[in-house]
Amino acid sequence: MSDTHAQSVAFVRETQIPPSDPPSSQTGAVKWMHENLFSSWFYGLLTLLSLYVIYVVLAGFLPWLFNGVWQASSIRECREVLDGATGGCFAVLTERWNQLLFGIAYPQDSYWRPLLAFVLLFIAAAPVLFAMLPRQMLLFTAIYPFLAFWLIWGGTILWPLLALAGFIVGYVVFGRLVKQSFAYGFFGAIVAAMITWWIGGFIVPAIAPEQTLLSAVPSRDMGGFMLNMILGTVCVSLSLPIGIVLALGRQSSMPIIKWICVVYIEFIRGVPLITLLFVASVVLAYFFPPGSNLDLVLRVIIMITMFSSAYIAEVIRGGLAALPRGQYEAADSLGLDYPQAMRLIVLPQALKISIPGIVNVAVGLFKDTTLVSVISMFDLVGAIRGPILAATEWNGVYWELWLFAALLFFIVCYGISQYSQWLERQLATDHR
């Protein structure tokens, strides 16, 4: 039998054949293209169309970018160098970069000050943005606003120190009195801080030295992209506490307080920022005591802060509403009073939910700071529309400047929104 078997079966394979490669249409680039680009005739058409669009855009853009002139003293010189060829006149950026970034009037030898403040901003913001960093860094965050003010505005360091002292005194008083009642602590702290500032207001001018370490820069000399950054960060950080208060007020059971907040929020959200900036530039001055004179930057900060606090209040209200009812009831059943319940139970959770929304508002607000150019402030857009395009040398250079401005905003806003998405993933503690 074995013989026959051996006869009838000529060959028995003892090992498995190694798996062969899939057919070339099912692998590598071909498969990828088939699946992702040409899966049906419609998608194929779309792909070709997209390729065409990309080609047209790049064919116009790349020669313009790579053939650009970076060294020239005027647009006429650019034209001479190019001699009819396509190319950007980027020389305007090399000549006027300082006006675009720092404004026309900020002293040139002090550019390191806002730059340093900008770098420190990351260190100060880091512990707030990334929960894994050591909490001690928050101390620097607390000092940062005063430090940044001193760096950018200069002058005597005593003023920011006084402001800081007011907050410290307020905090100490709060710590003492809060054991009795939150209201005592809160109002006590405000009164104590006010008294500190009031007294300091007499002392500081008396002892302030004539010569200061950093020369003072008036705020109307701020400009360029720096002004956008200042307005953005200052107004967002100021509007956070105001927004929390407004959101709580709107959720409040006390009708008068609730209605004050509702009217305020709906009013601000109902009008465009530009009308509020008109108020800052042409109307607000009439509402201050006769003879007083707040400078324009400060008035604009007030109006933008009012603007963004209404939007942030709505975001936080969404967070408060999204919190399960049980959290409020649990806090009540523990016997916590309102400030305790809010501080310890409700707000930490509600704020966590609202962070992506707050970041969105912050990005939107930062973009909207460009509107200050409409009221004759030389921010990035204002500097382009005003002095740079008006200059005889550069009149006619449009795309170079606008794309530069767009690029700066894109980098910052895209960075923030990427962070926001990362944070959303981190905070997604529920399992879906």
Partner 1 sequence: MNKSVVFGALTVAGLAAGAAAAGTLDDVKARGKLNCGVSTGLVGFAAPDASGEWKGFDVAVCRAVAAAVLDDPSAVEFVPTTGKTRFTALASGEIDMLARNTTWTFSRDVDLKFEFVGVNYYDGQGFMIPKELGVSSAKELDGATVCIQTGTTTELNLADFFRANNISYEPVPIETNAEAQQQYLAGACDVYTTDASGLAATRATFENPGDHIVLPEIVSKEPLGPLVRHGDNEWGDIVRWTLNALISAEELGVTSTNVAGLGEKANPETPEINRLLGTEGNLGEMLGLDADWAKRAIAVEGNYGEIFEKNIGESTPIGLARGLNGQWKNGGLLYSPPFR
Partner 2 sequence: MATLTDPPQESFQLSMLLNDTRYRSYTFQFIALIVLIAIMAYLMSNLFANLRAAGLNISYGFLTDPAGYDINQRLIEYDSQSTHLRAALVGILNTLLVASMACVTATILGVIAGVLRLSKNWLVSKLMAFYVEAFRNVPVFIWILMIGTFVTLSGDAPKAFLGENPSREMFLGGFAFTNRGLYMPAVTAGAGAGIVVLVFLASIVAAFWWRSHVKKTLFKTGKLLPAWVFWPILIVPAILAQLVLGSPLGLIAPDTMANRFNIQGGLLLGKPLIALWLALSVYTGAFIAENVRAGIQAVNRGQTEAAASLGLRPGRIMNLVVLPQALRVIIPPLISQYLNITKNSSLAIAVGYADITATLGGITLNQTGRAIECVLLLMLFYLTISLLISAVMNVYNKSVSLKER
Q: Which residues contact 196 (CB under 8 A, 6 or more apart)?
A: 162, 165, 166, 169, 170
Q: Which does 238 bind (CB under 5 to 8 A by kind): partner 2, partner 1, none?
A: partner 1
Our CB check for partner 1 shows the closer of 101 and 345 to be 101
CB nearer to partner 2: give 290 or 324: 290
Burial class (CB in 10 A: 0-12, 13-18, 19+), 13: exposed
Contacting partner 1 (CB under 8 A), which of 129, 351, 355, 375?
375
Closest listed residue to residue 238, CA positions, set 304, 296, 318: 304
What does 296 bind: partner 1, partner 2, none (CB cut-off 5 to 8 Å by kind)? partner 1
Nearer to partner 2, 46 or 427 (CB): 46
Nearest approach, Cβ of 360 to partner 1 (angstroms)? Answer: 20
Q: Are 261 and 186 in contact (CB under 8 A)?
A: no
**Which of partner 2, partner 1, none sits in contact with 301, Cβ below 5 to 8 A by type?**
partner 1
Report the residue number, 37 or 164, with the smaller CB distance to partner 1.
164
Cα separations in angstroms, 142 against 178, 209, 237 = 21, 26, 12
Q: Tell whether residue 37 is a contact of partner 2 (CB under 8 A).
A: yes
Interface positions, 264-293, toward partner 1 (CB under 8 A): 278, 281-283, 285-286, 289, 291-293
| Interacting residue with partner 2 among 6, 54, 191, 194 (CB under 8 A) | 54
Please identify, using beta-carbon distances, which residue of 171 and 338 lies nearer to partner 1. Answer: 171
Distance (Å, rounded) from C-alpha 45 to C-alpha 331?
60
Residues 272-311 that bind partner 2 (CB under 8 A): 272-275, 278-279, 282-283, 285-290
Candidate ranges 31-39, 103-111, 180-188, 337-345; the one touching partner 1 (CB under 8 A): 103-111
- DSSP type of residue 211: S
414 interface partner picked from partner 1, partner 2, none, CB below 5 to 8 A per type: partner 2
Determine phi and psi for 89, rounding to 5 degrees: -105, 75
Q: What are phi and psi of 155, to 5 degrees?
A: 80, -165
Decide: 379 and 372 in contact? Cβ < 8 Å. Answer: yes
Among partner 1, partner 2, none, what does residue 233 contact (CB within 5–8 Å per kind)? partner 1
User: How would DSSP label each residue in 176-195?
Assistant: HHTTT-HHHHHHHHHHHHHH
Q: How far is the CB of 105 from partner 1 (least distance, A)?
A: 5
Give residue for tokens 């051996």: 6
Q: Residue 320 binds what, of partner 2, partner 1, none (CB under 5 to 8 Å, by partner type)?
A: none
By rule CB under 8 A, what count of residues binds partner 2?
A: 58
CA nearest to 280, candidates 361, 369, 365: 369
Beta carbons within 10 angstroms of residue 358's beta carbon: 21
Q: How far is residue 28's CA from residue 167's CA, in Å, rounded to a whole number?
A: 64
The piece of 35-43, 95-103, 324-332, 404-412 that touches partner 1 (CB under 8 A) is 95-103
Among residue numbers 18 through 77, which ones bind partner 1 (CB under 8 A)?
76
Q: What angle do CA 58, 64, 67 make, to 5 degrees?
A: 125
Does 221 engage in binding with partner 2 (CB under 8 A)?
Answer: no
Pick from 311, 248, 395: nearest CA to 386: 395
Q: Kindly list the residues in this chain that would bind partner 1 in the complex (CB under 8 A).
A: 76, 79, 95-96, 98-99, 103-106, 108, 141-142, 144-146, 149, 159-160, 162-164, 166-167, 197, 201, 205, 218-220, 233-234, 237-238, 278, 281-283, 285-286, 289, 291-296, 298, 301-302, 374-378, 382, 385-387, 389-392, 395-396, 398
